[in-house]
């Protein structure tokens, strides 16, 4: 096998329970040191995919290869313990009757000295060196998660499967442990498949995101591409609040309060949703009933009045009712809290909106 061949390859994986398919025709691959996130709402089939790779679920069909070796196929089923796969779950499940060192050494082969060296190396890497002889119950949740990471990495698995591994940790701890986990796994060259329902976590961790919905992968790509070129309205809405302007296509154009939008290739009469994230709505002040002039970049501004404004941390969220009907929200960096009833003008960044036929 060539050095660049993927560590984990899945082809046409389908899983069903009681005749109901919950994972459909899923194909993906993960290279050494890469992180692929399976992202999607609860029940979309993420964990089932992960369990099939681990070997604890029997798929209906499909192939799985780890480091080029088939572990699942029409006539192959390699048992979980022989797949070279590490697992990290939300409940770290350290063995309570073993010390930190013995937890990490548990799956290791070799001499006692070699095992101790590997345990020390990993504990140092997760900044837990001084807890080598501690017991799991003496550690905080974050510390236990670091030990769980060290234990999972210790036998140098080719593939690491992680199912919502950080969701039990409080916010303050989570970012640090995520980054630490990522750097350890990258250094080890492990191919990582991470399951999460949190888009922010996926964008922070992933080299590639596979967005799942009802058993299907609906879109796959780098976080930047998935965020900026969503496949459909629901994919856009999964990553942030969205504004939707409804319209109908006539001559490849759609009329809206913000001027005409291009809808190339969409047949006349098709209803479309024009989707724009709140951070891409431009706000301008009303000057004696007039707003800014139309520009090619922002189209025609539309008048609206403020209905509510709130400060939500780094930014302010301002909600509007359009004079032409409908509501919109916009986020503005820092503190901007216009009073309800204030007239303003809204414009939409044309390069940041998406036009989707209504589903
Ligand atoms: N052992 C099982 N028997 C029957 N149905 C199951 C079983 N395991 C999962 N399912 C069903 O399969 C579907 C997918 O479940 P899965 O756990 O893979 O989803 P998920 O995306 O990981 O969701 P969550 O984030 O809530 O864990 C769900 O409808 C679930 O109820």
pLDDT in tens, 96-138: 999 999 999 988 888 999 999 999 999 998 888 999 999 999 9
Which residue reads 């006349």 in tokens? 268
Mutate to test the pocket of ligand 1, among 16, 40, 41, 46 (most ligand atoms within 8 A of CB): 46
For residue 120, give Cα distances in angstroms to 117, 144, 254, 286.
Answer: 5, 16, 64, 65
| Class level of CATH domain 240-357 | mainly beta
Q: What stretch(es) of the chain map to CATH 2.40.50.140?
A: 240-357
Q: Ligand 1 center to residue 306 CA distance, Å? A: 43
User: What sign for the dihedral angle of Cα 288, 276, 196, 30?
Assistant: negative
CA 136 from centroid of its chain's CA atoms: 30
Point out the ligand 1 atom lying closest to the alpha carbon of residue 195. Answer: 22
Mean pLDDT for the chain overall = 92
8 A C-beta contact, residue 62 and residue 14: yes
Point out the ligand 1 atom lying closest to the alpha carbon of residue 40. Answer: 21
Tell me the CATH number of domain 8-236, given options 1.10.8.60, 1.10.3720.10, 3.40.50.300, 2.30.42.10: 3.40.50.300
**Residue 20 Cβ contacting ligand 1 at under 6 Å:** no
* pLDDT tens profile 233-252: 999 999 999 999 999 999 98
Q: What stretch(es) of the chain map to CATH 3.40.50.300?
A: 8-236
Q: Ligand 1 center to residue 191 CA distance, Å? A: 24
**Above pLDDT 90, what percent of the chain?**
70
8 A C-beta contact, residue 6 and residue 189: no
- Taking the model in full, what pTM does it have? 0.88
Within 10 Å of residue 253's Cβ, how many Cβ atoms? 16
Q: Which two tokens stand for residue 116?
A: 């101790």
8 A C-beta contact, residue 232 and residue 209: no
User: What sign for the dihedral angle of Cα 52, 58, 63, 64?
Assistant: positive
β-pairing verdict for 271-276 and 243-250 = antiparallel
């Amino acid at each position: 096998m060539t050095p660049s061949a993927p560590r984990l390859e899945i082809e046409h994986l389908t899983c069903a329970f009681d005749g109901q398919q919950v994972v459909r025709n899923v194909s993906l691959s993960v290279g050494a040191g890469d992180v692929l996130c399976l992202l999607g709402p609860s029940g979309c089939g993420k964990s089932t995919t992960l369990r099939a790779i681990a070997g604890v679920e029997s798929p209906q069909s499909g192939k799985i290869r780890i480091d080029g070796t088939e572990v699942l196929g029409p006539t192959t089923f390699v048992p979980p313990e022989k797949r070279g796969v590490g697992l990290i779950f939300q409940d770290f499940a350290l063995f309570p009757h073993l010390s930190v060192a013995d937890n990490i050494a548990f799956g290791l082969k070799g001499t006692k000295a070699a095992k101790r060296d590997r345990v020390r190396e990993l504990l140092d890497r997760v900044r837990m060196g001084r807890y080598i002889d501690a017991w799991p119950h003496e550690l905080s949740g974050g510390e236990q998660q670091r030990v769980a990471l060290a234990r999972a990495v210790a036998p140098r698995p080719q593939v690491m499967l992680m199912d919502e591994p950080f969701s039990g940790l409080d916010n303050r701890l989570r970012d640090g442990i995520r980054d630490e986990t990522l750097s350890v796994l990258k250094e080890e060259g492990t191919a990582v498949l991470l399951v999460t329902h949190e888009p922010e976590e996926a964008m922070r961790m992933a080299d590639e995101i596979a967005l799942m919905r009802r058993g299907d992968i609906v879109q796959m790509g780098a976080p930047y591409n998935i965020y900026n070129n969503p496949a459909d309205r629901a994919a856009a809405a999964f990553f942030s609040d969205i504004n939707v302007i409804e319209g109908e296509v006539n001559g490849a154009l759609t009329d809206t309060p913000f001027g005409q939008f291009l809808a190339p290739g969409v047949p006349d009469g098709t209803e479309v949703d024009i989707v724009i994230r709140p951070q891409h709505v431009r706000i301008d002040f009303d000057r004696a009933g007039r707003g800014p002039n139309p520009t090619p970049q922002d189209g025609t501004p539309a008048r609206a009045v403020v209905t509510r404004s709130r400060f939500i941390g780094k930014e302010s969220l301002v909600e509007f009712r359009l004079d032409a009907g409908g509501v919109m929200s916009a986020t503005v960096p820092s503190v901007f809290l216009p009073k309800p009833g204030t007239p303003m003008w809204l414009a939409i960044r044309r390069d940041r909106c998406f036009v989707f036929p209504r589903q």
